[in-house]
Structure 1
Amino acid sequence: MPINTIINFVPQQEAWVIERMGRFHKILEPGLNWLIPCIDEIKYVKSLKEKPVDIQPQGAVTLDNVQLQLDGVLYLQIFDPYKASYGVYDAEFAISQLAQTTMRCEVGKMLLDEVFRERERVNVAIVLAINEAAKPWGIQCLRYEIKNMTMPSKIQEAMQMQVEAERKKRAMILQSEGQREAAINTAQGQKQSRILNSEANEAEQINLARGAAKAVELDAESRAKAINLITAAISENNGEKAATLVLGERYIEAFGHLAQKSTTMIVPASASEPASVLAQALSIYGTISSKKS
């Protein structure tokens, strides 16, 4: 505690509470200050800086009856030196006790899993409770952080088994989803392949049909042209004689190829005499010509 030296220098971010004859007189600001010796007394010195306060480990029981040990750190700052001096006897002790009781109360409202997930909510609740209670003391709680959280060894083993089971579950789900996606992709590929094959076969059949139709059409046209040429040739002078000669040659040539096509032949009785064969061919042509006339 500083001593009144008449001329006093107050450091920055400090507030000196002065009592005159045992009664509050004023608060000295940083810098040069004058005091009357033996009358003015420096009663309290308050730091206006933010100050961390360790919260000792405290037992708490969760909503599902699990015993936890929690500790933390609290950050305080004095905003009213007068209230901090005369509003409470030991501000840090009072606030640390309030933080412990609030922490037990908030943990008792949650399940064990929620305590791990909602640590931020617990911190905020403790800060709000401390600020509400410490407002008459001239102290503000800036933030609170839970440092350590311990539990019985059996609970830790159970939680570890739960985590491993959850990871195995996720792995199996991911594996099954991968197999499903692979099966879907394979089925879609086979579907597209069959569709393309069917379209290719359809196009091939259409092209073959078109080719066959075109071939028949060309063959018919060539036959028609040949018939027209033969008709024109026959209508000319000596055309019938030429046709007779050609017909006879074709008739004889046909008999020459009979044995090459099959082992069984039916041959007219007069086929051994070329003259009779030629006469028969000419007779056929003559019959056709007479019918045409």
Structure 2
Amino acid sequence: MIELISQAVLGLLSIYVLFKFIQSIQLVPTQRAYVVERLGNYHKTLGPGFHALVPFFDKVQYKQDLREETIEVEPQECFTRDNVKVEVDGVIYLAVIDPVNASYGITNYRFAAVQLAQTTTRSIIGKMDLDDTFEDRAIINKEVVNVLSEMEKAWGIRVLRYEIKNIYTPKTIQNAMERQMTAERNRRATIAKSEGIMQSTINDAEGEKEEIINKSEGEMQRQINEAEGVAEEIESIAEATAVSIEEIAEALSHDKGKEAMQMRLAEQYISQLSKLASDKNDVIIPKDVTNYDAIMSGLSLDKISIVPVESDLKKGT
């Protein structure tokens, strides 16, 4: 009986020793750190990989995750500088950078970080008005990160960022803010409408002014064009007259030129007499029909400038 008991105890001891040997083998994953104590004192920190410890002497006391982790900050009541109660919650993003200090520097760095973030948030919001808390969230986030960063070395952590999730206000404050926003939108709409009307009036006036200017410039250009056309016409007539006079002068300088010109003048004289009597029953004859040579001599080139045609005409029935 005693032998059976001793064999059972020996078997249990063997199993326990085997368990301890197996337990002394540690496989540390990536981005993990195991803190090992030997006989109750800190001995070393195990990094990723395979490790064999001394059974009964070494013990993995803490296992730290080195990855970035997210910690929720529960909603808390805060009072702004203008005595408005709000509830604020947020999120902390941090990571362990020193496994030893994270294990021995503080009992629970997560709980401590949340508490410090809440107290810092209450302190900052207490210095701000309600409207500023909505507009200056980045300032609040930055201040919380700065305060938590002061404890990085002691706690073995690094606070990467802090973000405010929500800022809750009482229902009465929300209604007042909605009325204020509605009034502000109406004010902006009224200003925008008046500015639109003013701009439309300015545009109409500018359009009318441009139209008047264009009409005046068009009228001025038309008058200029007409004047230039008249001037060109006069110039052309003058040039044509000068050319015809030169041709007449040249023709008169030749032999029989004067006789031809005198015959031409006689033809025109008779033609004019025919025109005067063409549309009437009147008969127009010269003063002295029998003296044809005198009439023709009056149409000579030497006297053509002083012979009045109407004085040589007589109307009769």
TM-score relative to the length of structure 2: 0.68
Match of 2:34 among 16, 19, 22: 16
Residue range with higher mean Cα deviation, 116-125 or 174-183 = 174-183
Alignment pair present for 1:161 and 2:182: yes
Unaligned segments of structure 2, at least 5 residues: 1-18, 307-317
Matched AA of 1:137: W
Alignment pair present for 1:172 and 2:186: no
Matched AA of 2:94: L
Deviation (angstroms), 1:187: 5.1
Deviation (angstroms), 1:32: 2.0
Deviation (angstroms), 1:273: 5.6
- The residue that corresponds to 1:105 in the other structure is 123
Alignment pair present for 1:215 and 2:237: yes
Between the aligned partners of 1:277 and 1:72, the Cα distance in structure 2 is 136
Between the aligned partners of 2:291 and 2:126, the Cα distance in structure 1 is 126
Relative to 1, partners in 2 of residues 1:169 and 1:7: Cα closer, same or farther, differing over 3 Å?
Answer: farther
Q: Map of 1:124-163 to 2, 5 A cutoff?
A: 124-152=142-170, 153-161=174-182
Residue range with higher mean Cα deviation, 214-223 or 133-142 = 214-223
Alignment pair present for 1:52 and 2:70: yes
- Contact kept in structure 2, 1:15 and 1:45, CA below 8 Å: yes
Alignment pair present for 1:76 and 2:91: no
SS in structure 2 at match of 1:15: strand
Between the aligned partners of 2:35 and 2:265, the Cα distance in structure 1 is 151
Between the aligned partners of 1:290 and 1:51, the Cα distance in structure 2 is 126
Unaligned segments of structure 1, at least 5 residues: none
- Contact kept in structure 1, 2:262 and 2:299, CA below 8 Å: no
Relative to 1, partners in 2 of residues 1:168 and 1:22: Cα closer, same or farther, differing over 3 Å?
Answer: same
- The residue that corresponds to 1:28 in the other structure is 46
Residue range with higher mean Cα deviation, 105-114 or 48-57 = 105-114
Alignment pair present for 1:92 and 2:110: yes
- Contact kept in structure 1, 2:34 and 2:45, CA below 8 Å: yes
SS in structure 1 at match of 2:125: helix
Matched AA of 1:172: K
Deviation (angstroms), 1:34: 0.8
- Contact kept in structure 2, 1:244 and 1:282, CA below 8 Å: no
Deviation (angstroms), 1:157: 0.9
Deviation (angstroms), 1:65: 4.6
Relative to 1, partners in 2 of residues 1:242 and 1:29: Cα closer, same or farther, differing over 3 Å?
Answer: closer
Relative to 1, partners in 2 of residues 1:157 and 1:226: Cα closer, same or farther, differing over 3 Å?
Answer: same
- Contact kept in structure 2, 1:247 and 1:281, CA below 8 Å: no
Deviation (angstroms), 1:284: 4.1
Alignment pair present for 1:275 and 2:289: yes
- The residue that corresponds to 1:205 in the other structure is 227
- Contact kept in structure 2, 1:51 and 1:76, CA below 8 Å: yes
Between the aligned partners of 1:240 and 1:143, the Cα distance in structure 2 is 118
TM-score relative to the length of structure 1: 0.72
SS in structure 2 at match of 1:275: coil
SS in structure 1 at match of 2:55: coil
Deviation (angstroms), 1:133: 2.6
Q: How many residues align?
A: 281
Between the aligned partners of 1:218 and 1:250, the Cα distance in structure 2 is 24
Deviation (angstroms), 1:178: 6.0
Deviation (angstroms), 1:141: 0.6
Matched AA of 1:225: E
SS in structure 1 at match of 2:151: helix
Relative to 1, partners in 2 of residues 1:199 and 1:118: Cα closer, same or farther, differing over 3 Å?
Answer: farther
- 1:73-96 CA distances to partner (integer Å, 9 max, x unpaired)? 111111112211221222111111
Matched AA of 1:116: F
Identity among equivalent positions (%) equals 26
Deviation (angstroms), 1:189: 5.0
Relative to 1, partners in 2 of residues 1:130 and 1:64: Cα closer, same or farther, differing over 3 Å?
Answer: same
